[in-house]
Every structure is written in C-alpha cells, then in structure tokens.
Structure 1
C-alpha cells in the first residue's frame, strides 16, 4: 500500500509539472518510479500515463496547435521508438538507469546554463531531433529533451510551444504504448497502477492548468531542473555503486 501511495505521489508531481510547463511528466516519473516498481513496470506505466496526460492537455491548448510544425519530427520518431523498446528489453538495468541518469543530468544542465541555441530555419532539422526523441521515448519515456530543444531553436510562441509539444508527444506516446502492448510489457500490475493513478492524474491537470498563470514560470522551471539534476545524479551513482 505504501508503494502504491508513493507511485501516486510521483504521478501527481509529474502531471502537475507538465500541466504548468508543457512537458516534464515522464522526466519526473522516470527519475523516481524505477526505484519503486522496477524498470520493466515503470516504463510502460509512464508511457500510458503520459499519453493520457497529453490528450487532456492538447484539448486545453488545441487552438494553438500547428501540425505542420511537428510533421518531420513526428515522422522520424517512428523509426527511433522500436530501437528504444528493444534497448529496454536487451540492456541490463544498471546500464539502463545510468543512461537515464545521464539524460536527466544533461537536460538539467542545458536548462540551468541557458545555452543560446542557433535558430533553425529549416523544418528538416526535425528529422534528427525527432529520431533521437523517439529513441529516448522508446527506451526511457524521455522524448522531451530533444524535442524541447528543437522547439526552442524554432522559436515557437509559448502557446504554440505547449500545444505542439502535446501533439508530438501524443504521436510518440501512442506508438510507444502500442509497442509495449506488442511485446507484452503491459502486465496486470501496470494496468492496476494505471487505473489507480487516473484520479491523481486528473487532479494534477486541474491544479496545473488553474495555477498556470499564477506561479512564476521561471521559479518553477528552476525548481524542476534542480530536482531533475539531483535525481539524475542519484541514478548514475546508484548504477555504478549498486
């Protein structure tokens, strides 16, 4: 019971984060859930929870959606997802966790340093970023970092940024969930935790969208980045120390 409550708390924090920032639910959840329920259960659970969250948020931001802006990235992600799913099944858990930790630390440092990224005029760049997002999404449910960097380089307005990200994530997450179904990763335990998580998922979306205009985004962004940095470092240390 304590384990289930801990899972629900992690789900709430992740969904609340995505409702405010437009992304981050999987980053937060994948930093903590593997330690609670194991990688094999956490990965498909986060995938289906992410898909549910993204559909809800896309409806909220639907008027700003620009499908043509994410077409190339979404197409390329299709090729990366199966490779990521294969990596989940074929790579030892210690190496998997170390890789996830590196992704989290790298993204947190990118956010803290506020690196000035070049403007990408051509949508063709979406193929490279989309493939990497699909690879990370299939393996770690962390398709966010590559596509967030791509969105920043494309200079999308805030509303379009959030809406386009949800559109991309829905395509990505749908394929990831289908892949998990095909390889039978969606176990009864995963479905049970998913059903238990739905009420807190709804609460996280409700509070996040309501508080979106009230909480300073820069303050919240730094808090999330700090947590991701600490959690990423913990995963890397844990992977190498056992």
Structure 2
C-alpha cells in the first residue's frame, strides 16, 4: 500500500472506531465496506485487520465496565459463533480465490441488510428470549464474522429486542465481538494466512483505534441515538449499493 492508500485506510479506521464506541457496533461494517469500495485492500486482508483492531477498541471501551455484562448472553453467543465462524472463513477463502465479484456482491447485500436492521429497530420484548435464540443468532453472527469480520448485525437486532438496559447490551456486544475476533485470528493463524504485512498495517492503526475509542467515550456527539442510527443507515446503505453496482458493472 502506498502512502495515500495508507492514510485513507487510517481515516476509515478512525471513523469506524468512533462509530463503534458510541453505538456498540458498526466498526467492521464501516471499515470493510469503505476499504473495499475505495479499493484500498482485498476483502480477506481487511477482515483480518478488523479482527485485530477491534480487540483494542473493545479493550479500551470495556475498561472498568465489566459490571454491565450479561454473562449468559455472552457465553451462549460466543460458543455457537465459534463453529460457524470456521465455516465462514472457509467460504471466504473459496470465494476470494474463484468468485471475487460474487464475494463483493455478497458483502454489499450483507451491508444493505445490516443497514435495514439498524434503522428498523424492533421494540423491546416484555419477556426475555430463551437460550436457543441466542445460540441461533450467535451462530449467524459467527458466520458473518468468519466471512467479513462483521458479526454485529444479527446480534444487534436480537439483543435490542431484549428487556435489558442499553448499557448492558452495548458492553455485552463489545465483549462478544472481541471474543469473536480472538477466535477468528486463531483460525486464520492456524491456516497460515496471518501475513507480516497485515500485522504491520495493524500496528500502524492501533494508535488511531486507541485514540478515537477514548474520544468516543469522552466526547460522544450531542445527538440522539435515533439520529445516529439514521446517519449510520444512510452511509451503510449507500456503500452496500455501491459495492453491488460496481461488482455487477465489472
């Protein structure tokens, strides 16, 4: 990567980190969609980068906030997500090698569906869902995490339906995402795909992640959660449509 591409990538990392810190999700969606749309790096490389950087974002965001966690939701989703994550990594490797355009279309569709989940936020249920539902959505999240390192949308949709405080939902999501990242890094390393150049780019981006995570915690934007969701919806929808269109045209 040249200097211009590296600076652009770091800018996208800053935006994605800030969004993740104030909402509890969207880091992988913004970083993956923007990097691929701007042709900064291939999907497989960005997926590894997201896994590494999200760990630092989650660590800073969760520092001294462990009392807000719902341990049952975290355990159920993390366990079921690990097995489907392996399947997602395998699917990414197959598509990256033979079906690049289809991979880009799948990413675009995933981002579009994710943006719709963000804007059409369901009303909380009066009764908490059973363990089986958390295993199912955890597995779906793991597959998306394995393919694109964007495990958030299924869990965000399901968690915000629960009669649980928002701070508990936010911090539980962050911990699940960090566990998902550790699992994905371990799988990729076992496959021998954790290249030195990816690690160097991640090392360069770590200060950006730490800095903008702190800024998100210390200086959240003076707007409502509803407004934030609308902004995220528009940005993600446009990037998803652009990815699909560019893949179809080429």
TM-score by length of 2: 0.91
User: Per-residue displacement from partner, 1:101-145 (whole Å, max 9, x unpaired)?
Assistant: 111111212322344576653122111101110000000111000
> Which of 39, 47, 52 is 1:48 aligned to?
52
What does 1:17-56 correspond to in 2, within 5 Å?
A: 17-34=19-36, 35-56=39-60
**Residue matched to 1:180:** 188
Unpaired runs of 5+ residues, structure 2, are none
Distance 1:106 1:117, change over 3 A: farther
RMSD, matched Cα: 1.6
Tell whether 2:103 aligns with 1:96. Answer: yes
Distance 1:33 1:216, change over 3 A: same
Distance 1:117 1:99, change over 3 A: farther
User: Per-residue displacement from partner, 1:14-64 (whole Å, max 9, x unpaired)?
Assistant: 000011001111110010123211123211111111122112212253220
State the shift of 1:11 in Å: 0.4
Checking the alignment, whether the CA contact within 8 Å between 2:81 and 2:141 is kept in structure 1 is: yes
**Residue matched to 2:69:** 65
Q: Distance in 1 between matches of 2:223 and 2:211?
A: 17
Q: Distance in 2 between matches of 1:21 and 1:147?
A: 13
Tell whether 2:148 aligns with 1:140. Answer: yes
**Residue matched to 1:206:** 214
Q: Distance in 2 between matches of 1:64 and 1:114?
A: 22
- Structure 1 stretches (4+) deviating beyond 6 angstroms? none
TM-score by length of 1: 0.94
State the shift of 1:205 in Å: 0.5
Tell whether 2:204 aligns with 1:196. Answer: yes
State the shift of 1:230 in Å: 0.4
Look up the SS of the partner of 1:154 in the other structure: coil
**Residue matched to 2:117:** 110
Size of the aligned set, in residue pairs, is 242
Q: Distance in 1 between matches of 2:105 and 2:163?
A: 32
Checking the alignment, whether the CA contact within 8 Å between 1:41 and 1:185 is kept in structure 2 is: no
Distance 1:97 1:181, change over 3 A: same
Distance 1:165 1:78, change over 3 A: same
Checking the alignment, whether the CA contact within 8 Å between 1:61 and 1:159 is kept in structure 2 is: no
Unpaired runs of 5+ residues, structure 1, are none
Distance 1:17 1:225, change over 3 A: same
Look up the SS of the partner of 2:161 in the other structure: helix
State the shift of 1:172 in Å: 0.9
